[in-house]
Amino acid sequence: MQTKQGTNYPHEALNAVATMAAIAPHQPASEPPMNTTAEAIAEKRRHLTADSLSQDQSTSTTVGEITSPNPCMVCRDVNVWYADNHAIKNVSLDIGRNEVISMIGPSGCGKSTFLRCLNRMNDTIPVARVTGSIKLEGEEIQDRGIDVVPLRARVGMVFQKPNPFPKSIYENIAYGPRIHGLTNNRAELDELVETSLQRAGLWNEVKDRLDAAGTGLSGGQQQRLCIARAISVSPEVILMDEPASALDPIATAVIEELIDELREQYTIAIVTHSMQQAARVSQRTAYFHLGDLVEVGTTDDIFNRPQHKLTEAYITGRFG
């Protein structure tokens, strides 16, 4: 593909984009629309800012199928403001039961904010204001009247940085069941701790040192401990906010495998910066840009046949 090298005029760059966007969707998947020379990529980066792209094609309406045949969570017209900053703009999206949906997009695009709406974690931020409708199994969770305690037990969350409590491994897992009164005696609690750790694939590594500090584990183990902690209260949905971005490639692979296994029992929404990761673990992908949900579709479609040229530009690595 030819771009105009050495030009300094934005409109010429735009023309180049338009040409590219017209060609790109029709290209076979085996040949990604990418110019491989470093100079060409650098040149494109210089001209193809996200702003120039979004002038060309609207981002206010979402491209692709936002609904799911078997929805677990249904979000309609969700808006989030942080004080005066409109962080999420009219996002509507279904999260299907037992699917992994990944949310991708450049930094600051609102994907984490959207994720935090799903278990009302934005309540902890005093200036945040959320409007619109979010339903979990048909039940509205946006009502101020609803208690967030049972909601968060049903919609668990795993954070970007592993955040084990400064307690023992056992106590880290037992914390959730204890505050929700899920077990009647110590034996049941022991069993729940064991099954949670087993599901998170951590049991064999820590079964001999459940009394050791959770903070003493390696980064990958800590993150699996946090996943086990989320599982321990039997949630229906698990939200993961860049769960592997602080981990090395091997620990990342373990977590990704785990996510794939967990899909059988849980609905998972994952925010990620790694497009390979989104491609590997998710069935559906949503692309966010500056607070807009630009495009949703099956992961296969998004990565191989993107409809919106912002999506296409992002997944081919031209900005982000």
Partner 1 sequence: MSSTLLFFIVLAAMALAYYIGRQRAIGVVGGVSQINRLHSLPSYYGYYAALLVGLPAMLLLLLWVGLQGQILTALTLAELPPEVTADLSEGQLSLLTSDIRNLASGNLMGRDPSPAVEAAAARFQQLQQIATLSLWALTGAVVLAGMAWAWQHTKPSFRARNRVESILMLVMILFSLIAILTTLGIVLSVLFESIRFFQMVPWTEFLFGTRWSPQIALRAEQVGASGAFGAIPLFTGTLLISFIAMLLAVPVGLLSAVYLAEYAPRKVRAWAKPVLEILAGIPTVVYGFFAALTVAPFFRDLGQSVGLDVASESALAAGLVMGIMIVPFVSSLSEDVINAVPQSLRDGSYALGATQSETIRRIIFPAALPGIVGGVLLAVSRAIGETMIVVMAAGLAANLTANPLASVTTVTVQIVTLLTGDQEFDSAKTLAAFALGLTLFVVTLVLNVIALHIVRKYREQYD
Q: Is 166 in the site for partner 1 (CB under 8 A)?
A: yes
Stretch that binds partner 1, among 130-138, 143-151, 247-255, 287-295 (CB under 8 A): 143-151
How many residues belong to the site for partner 1 (CB under 8 A)? 28
- Identified binder of partner 1 from the candidate list 33, 105, 110, 156, rule CB under 8 A: 156
In the chain the first and final C-alpha atoms are separated, in Å, by 21
Closest Cα partner for 274 from 246, 293, 239? Answer: 246
Stretch that binds partner 1, among 70-78, 165-173, 250-258, 285-293 (CB under 8 A): 165-173
Q: Is 165 in the site for partner 1 (CB under 8 A)?
A: yes
Asked if 127 and 188 touch (Cβ cutoff 8 Å), the reply is: no
Q: Is 180 in the site for partner 1 (CB under 8 A)?
A: yes
- Identified binder of partner 1 from the candidate list 76, 135, 167, 305, rule CB under 8 A: 167
CB of 223 to partner 1, least distance (A): 12
Q: Is 296 in the site for partner 1 (CB under 8 A)?
A: no
User: Of the two residues 120 and 308, which places its CB atom closer to partner 1 in the complex?
Assistant: 120
CB of 130 to partner 1, least distance (A): 16
User: Of the two residues 88 and 155, which places its CB atom closer to partner 1 in the complex?
Assistant: 155
Q: In what order do the strands lie in the sheet with 85-96?
A: 85-96, 71-82, 128-136, 139-140
Q: Is 159 in the site for partner 1 (CB under 8 A)?
A: yes
Q: What does 39-90 look like in DSSP terms, one character per residue? A: HHHHHHHHH--HHHHHHHS--SS-BS----SSEEEEEEEEEEEETTEEEEEE
Asked if 96 and 67 touch (Cβ cutoff 8 Å), the reply is: no
Question: How far is the CA of 163 from the CAs of 67, 102, 156, 208, 248, in angstroms?
Answer: 33, 22, 14, 22, 17
User: Of the two residues 180 and 305, which places its CB atom closer to partner 1 in the complex?
Assistant: 180
- Residues in 225-244 that interact with partner 1 by CB under 8 A: 226, 229-230, 233
Closest Cα partner for 301 from 288, 317, 282, 277? Answer: 282
CB of 176 to partner 1, least distance (A): 4
Asked if 62 and 71 touch (Cβ cutoff 8 Å), the reply is: no
Interacting residue ranges for partner 1, rule: CB under 8 A: 119, 121, 124, 126, 148-153, 156-157, 159, 161, 163-167, 175-176, 179-180, 215, 226, 229-230, 233
